[in-house]
Amino acid sequence: MKINITNGKLIVRFTLNFMLHQILLFLAVSLPAVFYIVVLKQPEKLFIVNLTTGAIIAVYFLYCLFYGYYVAWPMADILVKIKKLSSGEFLTLAKKKRFPSFSTRLYREVYANLESLSVTLQENERKRREFEQLGQEWAAGVTHDLKTPLSYISGYTDMLLSDEHKWSVDEKREFLQLIRDKSAHMKELINDLGIAFRMDQAIGIKFSSQKIELVELIRRVVAEAANMPSEKDNRFEILGEEEPLHVMGDMGLLKRAFSNLLINAVVHNPAGTSIVVRIKSNSYAEVQITDNGKGMDEQSVSHLFDRYYRGTSTDTPTGGTGLGMAIVKQIVTAHQGTVDVKSKLGQGTSIIVRLPHWGNLEIS
């Protein structure tokens, strides 16, 4: 540690205060002896007494200087470390000495806490930078997703309005169908953005509270996913509960959550993937969606429900908004439920949603 004016003032101030208190203590302890020598009895060998007293005072003064400086030095070092942390610098973890100095051992809890704080701040800074990068990538992706349907709409509209060509009724119908499809995609994107950001507000999203028959809801969602126009020819299967299973919540939001999970299993897996939906009833109403697709690596699993994450795969087009799974997490959490994912590359993915039974959910 380099000594500057601030550190020097701290050491000097601490040392002087320590010396002052020690001298006062020394005088208080010496008062009986002084009274005995000066007032009651005069020793014959006054020179020896004065010399001894002076030597004791000198040694005691040197001890005060040494002890004050020795104890104040680590305090100045701690001040430097705190200043570094406040300015955004992180501490370099020093190797532990075999025989640490007394002053270091005296403040070992403070040093340990400073090092722990530095590690925490460094990790938070890394996460912040990662989040900013994901946010920038997500914003670029959303911008692209908006531009693509707009370019279709603009292009086909110009073609319909052009006087250079005479379009047949079938051609006009085809163009209008494409325009409607792209408009629906934009509407879905805007709705996703609205749901995601409204749920982030302090008041949360306001949803209707109603008794929902979960088994019937899952059957409808699976049927819609199975009937989606797709060239992949996926196989869907529902296993588990036959008896009605009731939960409390918003029908539209829960349907959106389970639909997002099934669509995600279809879009991000190869053709012919088998998707099994198991419904269980224990302490929670449990819905498990399992596929035998290509699975995910640990990084994708850990970031699956992050709003700005689109995955690391390069062979699958990212036609979505990057909000689908984040919305699932938000909806399930708003219903006081949990969602967990297990996946390995080449072994498929399993997502488990747990919701409180009807009567056990407190809607705020």
Q: Yes or no: say if 302 and 342 are a contact pair by the CB < 8 Å rule.
A: no
Helix (H) or strand (E) holding 137: helix 108-161
Question: Which residues of the chain form CATH 3.30.565.10?
Answer: 210-355
Distance CA 354, CA 279 (A): 10
Query: Which of the four pLDDT bands, split at 50, 70 and 90, describes residue 11?
Result: low
Question: Which residues of the chain form CATH 1.10.287.130?
Answer: 129-198
Could you please report the per-residue DSSP string of 20-73? Answer: HHHHHHHHHHHHHHHIIIIII---S-HHHHHHHHHHHHHHHHHHHHHHHHHHHH
Distance CA 344, CA 346 (A): 6
For 59-111, the pLDDT digits (tens) are: 777 777 777 667 777 777 888 888 888 888 888 766 665 555 655 666 777 88
Query: Which of the four pLDDT bands, split at 50, 70 and 90, describes residue 236?
Result: very high
Work out the average pLDDT over 331-349.
92
Average pLDDT over all residues of the chain? 78
- Please report the pLDDT score of residue 246 as a whole number: 92
Q: Yes or no: say if 142 and 189 are a contact pair by the CB < 8 Å rule.
A: yes
Distance CA 196, CA 327 (A): 6
Which amino acid is present at 30?
A: S
For 250-265, the pLDDT digits (tens) are: 888 899 899 989 988 9
Please provide the CATH number assigned to the domain covering 210-355.
3.30.565.10
Fold of 129-198: Helix Hairpins (1.10.287)
CA distances 346 to 70, 135, 268, 296, Å, are: 62, 29, 13, 8
Q: Yes or no: say if 280 and 215 are a contact pair by the CB < 8 Å rule.
A: no
Distance CA 275, CA 292 (A): 7
- Please report the pLDDT score of residue 44 as a whole number: 54
